[in-house]
Structure 1
Amino acid sequence: MAIALPKIVFSLTGHGYGGEFPPKKPSPTPLLRRKNRFQGVKTVQITSVLSKTNESMASTITDLDREEQEAEEQKMRRTGTESNERRLADCWREIQGQDDWIGMLDPIDPLLRSELIRYGEMAQACYDAFDFDPFSKYCGTCRFIRRRFFDSLGLPNLGYEVTRYLYATSNINLPNFFKKSRWPKVWSRNANWIGYVAVSDDETSARLGRRDITIAWRGTVTRLEWIVDLMDFLRPISSDKIIPCPDPTVKAESGFLNLYTDKDENCRFCKYSAREQILTEIRKLIQQYSNEDLSITITGHSLGSALAILSAYDIVETGQHLTQDGRAVPVCVFSFSGPRVGNVRFKERLEGLGVKVLRVVNVHDTVPKVPGVFFNEQVPKLVQKMAEGLPWCYSHVGIELQLDHKNSPFLKDTGGPTNFHNLEAHLHLLDGYHGKGKRFMLSSKRDIALVNKAADFLKDHHLVPPFWRQDENKGMVRNHEGRWVQPERPKLDDHPTDMHHHIKQLGLTSDS
């Protein structure tokens, strides 16, 4: 038996929606209009809720990403610190390239990264300490005395003592390398300070696992005109019998050789060549610490990188790396943004002598691509063979570690070649490099503001002004009369009094 149920009509216009009850039968058009209006309200409400939800979720995800990144960075820093404490004294030979850094570059070994940055900072110290102000009567010198060199640069805990300053002269025009004062009475008209030799102290030597002798070479200060000045031709290493080499086909770029071997008998700072200064100091330090484990680490940036490679070759070719009991001290070069130095035979001779070279380059930098733009190690072997007799056929040496500044989220996407070449930028890229294709993430607390110390490379939102490193009042001070003057500096270091004796002992040619 069927029971009749009351007819219940549900309407979208009932209570709560502004309609009447019981509702009147609406016409189709108003109902449709009201229905659409309701759906629009509902859609707006849902969209608004979803939008707020998405914003909240995005904010949460961003916070989580940030926390995750900070956690990863802390983990990397912790791992790096533990690695330094655990491994450095035990694996320093691998860090210095005993096995050609196989398996240590991709992904990069955290200890190797920290050591590269440390030696890069020692090369950077050459720029920070150099007086390139033409209005200074000390232009072309080091601004600090040798005994307080690292302290004056804010590196008191580096653990090295500078044993000698290096000076150079050259018969070729290098206006961006050799700085001259506008003062009529200057400290030297022909010499420039180009670097230093330092040795690790007892505490640092214990941490490193050996006594480390470091040579740091200065490069050009800013612009890159020196490339044109130096891109001349290859000449035999043994030419003029300055650097001995049994193979006359071993050649290096003539400008580098000039800079390394030239001297001026009339100048007390460069009456000995940079070569003679290096070899005598290395020999003296090896004799002094002959009963210890030793290493010779040479570093330089740009033009300084070429001098680093050339001096490393010379030290080993002449046997100055041998101790009195015949042990060979390992010689390693950490090169930053360096040009090619010699031909294929130079590369083969250098590597055959056991010199280890690790070259850190920015793939967008011009300098590592010269000289030898057309004939170099990248052309086919047949072409190399055909061109090896030409004075413009060059080859890089050692192992290359490629970095790319476009991977850093901190740096501008700029076309400035001096930024690509900047040493501080290279150290920043090293700090964030973990391997090819891996995310760029800073592994230490190294300040990114250092990138803009002498450049305009950081993105603006970091609020670090470009070229911010300046001497207070441009080095001017008030004297006792209240006048602004340039302060006097201590007497510049001269060559050791026994220099001539060491020159003769090593059999180096010198008429001084």
Structure 2
Amino acid sequence: MVMAAFIPNIVVALPKPKTHQPLRKPKPTVSCKATQQKSISDVWRKIHGEDDWAGLLDPMDPLMRSELIRYGEMAQACYDAFDFDPYSKYCGSCRYSPSEFFDSLDMSHVGYTPTRFLYATANINLPNLFRKSRWPSKMWSKHANWAGYIAVSNDAMTKLLGRRDITIAWRGTVTHVEWVADLMNYLKPISGEGDVKVEAGFLELYTDKETTCGYCKYSAREQVLAEVKRLLDKYSQEEVSVTITGHSLGSAMGILSAFDIAERGLKAGTSTVFSFSGPRVGNLRFKERLEELGVKVLRVHNSHDMVPRSPGMFLNEGLPRWVVNLVQGLPWCYLHVGVGLELDHKKSPFLNPNADAASAHNLEAILHLLDGYHGKHGAFKRTSERDLALVNKDCDFLKDEHTVPPRWRQDLNKGMVKTQDGRWVLADRPKPHDPTQDLHH
């Protein structure tokens, strides 16, 4: 298109000015030879692990790629909406209400409606996992942190996907990867007594509650199970999928919630977890029980990231099976679950190969790598115009030649606004959404 500037008797064609905006909109109906011109509605079961992703990852199927990026962006939304500024009265909460959530993040195209915000209690002794305001008398909650959301596809997206999709998105940490050192790093039965065990810190975060706080009066586990049950009842006459996405710590929370949903029989068939840069969660019996329940997990990670190597640095799935059987009773033996998809940031010509460890763990960088991944032995080649600037949103990973400032995402004036009388004050906003007001168990 052109824009016309008119001068008497002369018409000059001027090029339309370019704008630099993140291109986040997924392309869910991209066709390819591998999918034989099919749409998501034709192959969604395969994309969600019906055949353990056989033939879809190496080389990467374009529909598989677009769906992974789409769910990854839904996990990234948890970071973009999280108030992590300790100088904010609302530190630890979500910046937006459920009704304006995706619109405020420039994600109206996603085709989902948030139905429930999720909260976890910040009482446990894991200091790098939570953010709290430095203004204790003004805090919105002394006990809770916003942990993610549950959303359901609208009618138009449901038609495109071929089923009603319930998505649970879990937030990871907003500190550097040192949070791994805070793990209690011992296994604990996931429910009462038994040999199905998971990492104690993850389990406490998932199950702890604070009865005096409206936001975490019920545990994250109870909030998830209650809302999934409500939505499954509401859409009982439709075909429904339950998809869980999360990054880092959010990946662990996602795997735990997938286990619970399946263990309690809330969803017939399979539930799917798209895990990004997630740690190991449980022991051999936990892995076996997930498989028995039909839970499908696809783990996407950077080969240079330390988080997926923890916990269980030495006693893990890399040992011969007979050794795993021998040491599985030890409280430090952890195994990854599901199918792994390993990426390598050193293959991307756009990224600094010597960046710090936190950059290797960054979710936007993972989505960039997915965009250019064509198989283990394939060269990196971008498949879309996804904005490179997104990579440096919260890290310093792009090469300097791209002239994108590191960690450029920030609040205008750190949330300070000017009043009518000319004074600068911290802006007020509506009280964060309370999930327990209509929560029924």
TM-score normalised according to structure 2 size: 0.91
Matched, 1:491 2:437: no
SS at match of 2:198: strand
Amino acid paired to 1:389: G
CA-CA distance at 1:386 after TM superposition:
1.6
Match of 2:416 among 476, 480, 487: 476
Amino acid paired to 1:260: Y
Residue pair 2:119, 2:144 contacting (<8 A) in 1 also: yes
Residue pair 2:118, 2:435 contacting (<8 A) in 1 also: no
The aligned residue for residue 282 of structure 1 is 228
Match of 1:187 among 118, 140, 159: 140
Q: For 1:363 and 1:78, locate their aligned partners in 2 and report how far apart those are by CA, in whole Å.
A: 27
CA-CA distance at 1:495 after TM superposition:
2.5
Q: For 1:78 and 1:479, locate their aligned partners in 2 and report how far apart those are by CA, in whole Å.
A: 43
SS at match of 1:82: coil
The aligned residue for residue 81 of structure 1 is 30
Residue pair 2:355, 2:396 contacting (<8 A) in 1 also: no
Amino acid paired to 2:374: H
Q: 1:383 to 1:329 in 2, by over 3 A?
A: closer
Gaps of 5+ in 2: 1-25
Matched, 1:293 2:239: yes
Match of 2:116 among 141, 164, 182: 164
Q: For 1:219 and 1:386, locate their aligned partners in 2 and report how far apart those are by CA, in whole Å.
A: 33
Q: For 1:483 and 1:157, locate their aligned partners in 2 and report how far apart those are by CA, in whole Å.
A: 38
The aligned residue for residue 20 of structure 2 is none
Amino acid paired to 1:178: F
The aligned residue for residue 306 of structure 1 is 252
Correspondence 1:388-403 to 2 at 5 A: 388-403=328-343
Amino acid paired to 2:244: I
Amino acid paired to 2:413: N
Q: Which has the higher helix share?
A: 1
Q: For 1:125 and 1:132, locate their aligned partners in 2 and report how far apart those are by CA, in whole Å.
A: 14
Higher RCO (C-alpha 8 Å, min separation 6): 2
Amino acid paired to 2:144: A
Q: For 1:216 and 1:395, locate their aligned partners in 2 and report how far apart those are by CA, in whole Å.
A: 23
SS at match of 1:359: strand
Match of 2:350 among 400, 404, 410: 410
Which structure's CA Rg is the greater one?
Answer: 1
The aligned residue for residue 445 of structure 1 is 385
Q: For 1:196 and 1:351, locate their aligned partners in 2 and report how far apart those are by CA, in whole Å.
A: 25
Correspondence 1:138-217 to 2 at 5 A: 138-183=90-135, 184-217=137-170
Q: For 1:163 and 1:87, locate their aligned partners in 2 and report how far apart those are by CA, in whole Å.
A: 27
The aligned residue for residue 263 of structure 1 is 209
Amino acid paired to 1:365: D
Q: For 1:295 and 1:151, locate their aligned partners in 2 and report how far apart those are by CA, in whole Å.
A: 24
Amino acid paired to 2:317: E
Instruction: Count matched residues.
Output: 412
Q: For 1:170 and 1:346, locate their aligned partners in 2 and report how far apart those are by CA, in whole Å.
A: 26
CA-CA distance at 1:273 after TM superposition:
0.3
Residue pair 1:125, 1:153 contacting (<8 A) in 2 also: yes
Residue pair 2:121, 2:209 contacting (<8 A) in 1 also: yes
Residue pair 1:296, 1:329 contacting (<8 A) in 2 also: no
Amino acid paired to 2:51: D
TM-score normalised according to structure 1 size: 0.78
The aligned residue for residue 427 of structure 1 is 367
Q: For 1:82 and 1:208, locate their aligned partners in 2 and report how far apart those are by CA, in whole Å.
A: 14
Q: For 2:28 and 2:201, locate their aligned partners in 1 and report how far apart those are by CA, in whole Å.
A: 44
CA-CA distance at 1:231 after TM superposition:
4.1
Residue pair 2:28, 2:39 contacting (<8 A) in 1 also: no
Amino acid paired to 1:213: I
Amino acid paired to 1:149: F
CA RMSD of aligned residues (A): 1.6
Matched, 1:357 2:291: no
Q: For 2:72 and 2:259, locate their aligned partners in 1 and report how far apart those are by CA, in whole Å.
A: 20
CA-CA distance at 1:229 after TM superposition:
1.0
Match of 1:367 among 307, 310, 318: 307
Q: 1:447 to 1:412 in 2, by over 3 A?
A: same
Matched, 1:219 2:165: no
SS at match of 1:81: coil
CA-CA distance at 1:329 after TM superposition:
5.0
CA-CA distance at 1:222 after TM superposition:
2.9
Q: For 2:120 and 2:420, locate their aligned partners in 1 and report how far apart those are by CA, in whole Å.
A: 36
Give CA deviations for 1:436-458 in whole Å, capped at 9, x if unaligned. Answer: 11111111111111000001000
Give CA deviations for 1:372-413 in whole Å, capped at 9, x if unaligned. Answer: 011001011222122111000010000000100000000001
Amino acid paired to 1:162: P
CA-CA distance at 1:498 after TM superposition:
4.0
Residue pair 1:170, 1:263 contacting (<8 A) in 2 also: no
Matched, 1:253 2:168: no
Q: For 1:286 and 1:314, locate their aligned partners in 2 and report how far apart those are by CA, in whole Å.
A: 15
Amino acid paired to 1:82: S
Gaps of 5+ in 1: 1-76, 241-247, 322-327, 504-512
Q: For 1:266 and 1:293, locate their aligned partners in 2 and report how far apart those are by CA, in whole Å.
A: 38
Match of 1:228 among 178, 181, 199: 181
Q: For 1:393 and 1:296, locate their aligned partners in 2 and report how far apart those are by CA, in whole Å.
A: 29
Matched, 1:315 2:261: yes
